[in-house]
Amino acid sequence: MTAHILDGNALAKTLRANFRQEAEALASRGARPGLAVILVGENPASQVYVRNKVNACADAGFYSEKHVFPGDATQADVLAKIRALNADPAIHGILVQLPLPAQFDAEAVLDAIVAEKDVDGFRAENVGALVLGLPCFVPCTPRGAMRLLEEAGVDVAGKEAVIVGRSNIVGKPMAMLLMHAGATVTVCHSRTRDLAAHCRRADILVAAVGKPRFITGEMIKPGAVVIDVGINRLPDGKLCGDVDFDAARVVAGAITPVPGGVGPMTIAMLLANTLESARNSVQNGAGNNA
Ligand SMILES: Nc1nc(=O)c2c([nH]1)NC[C@@H]1CN(c3ccc(C(=O)N[C@@H](CCC(=O)O)C(=O)O)cc3)C=[N+]21
Ligand SMILES: [Mg+2]
């Protein structure tokens, strides 16, 4: 058996073409979707991701701004920029690239973004709404992972889903989305006893641990759908996921590659959330002139 490869690059490209049509429709109503990305410091991985986000905006006909601060910038500098963007009608989404340098209180910075522009979905109001099943911005990486499951034709209801990783950005929201979709969800983490046994029960296995090739072939149930959220840079400069891809692909039924799986879908869902925010602004009578 060889797993079906879930091509995030191809799906993201198709989605961006659809977003472009919607962006033009919104632009004609005075609300071209606009995203502002804030990057602090010179983390090379962050620079790549931010560049990908800005390029994706251009490709989808969105307006975007990139605000780069030096690594020794103060929190007050960044907060002032966020306040200006909060009030800017051309901007529908504000993203502060994480991680922030150590001198920052990331919680306080994210909290400064008005909820209507929190397209990452990281603020407490958003997380609360997600848990309650109310309208909200669904965090981009889990939303992209769910979209890939849909693309794979996976009927989530009744399935055993196992998530490895309990982060606020991936593990926790992913658990909520899978639960809402009807899966029986187990969240495993660094303290879990007999992780392999949990993983082997999974019809849907989501790896979000941040350790290269941590999930081995023996941890996968034959035919399972494997979603690899990991992006790890190896000493030779190559990227690899949290799953041992070569071992997994001969066991799994479907699997996301790294790169080219969840990563591009994360960016596509950032655009989807920004589009949603622009649509909301039109409904609330607060478009822009972009
Ligand atoms: N406020 C905030 N929101 C985020 O959504 C956020 C963040 N901070 N900090 C970092 C993580 C990571 N993340 C990725 C986005 C795209 C790729 C991506 O495009 N990956 C390509 C490869 C990129 C490469 O070549 O390095 C791929 O998987 O094919 C990866 C990772 C968003 N994050
Ligand atoms: Mg996690």
pLDDT at 288: 52
Atom of ligand 1 nearest to the CA of 52: 19
Which of 266, 271, 273, 274 to mutate to test ligand 1, by most ligand atoms within 8 A of the CB atom? 266
Domains annotated for the chain, with CATH where assigned, are 30-118 (3.40.50.10860), 140-262 (3.40.50.720)
Token pair for residue 108? Answer: 């306080």
- Give the residue-averaged pLDDT of 53-69: 98
Atom of ligand 1 nearest to the CA of 260: 29
CA distance 70 to 280: 33
Q: Beta strand pairing status for 239-240 and 232-233?
A: antiparallel
127 pLDDT higher than 70: yes
- Give the residue-averaged pLDDT of 16-29: 98
285 pLDDT higher than 90: no
Those residues whose C-beta lies under 8 Å from the C-beta of residue 21, and which sit 6 or more positions away, are: none
Q: What is the pLDDT of residues 227-238, one digit of tens each?
A: 999 999 999 999
- To the query of whether residue 47 is one of the catalytic residues in this protein, the response is no
Cβ–Cβ under 8 Å, residues 31 and 288: yes
CA distance 70 to 140: 26
290 pLDDT higher than 50: no
pTM of the predicted structure, to 2 decimals = 0.96
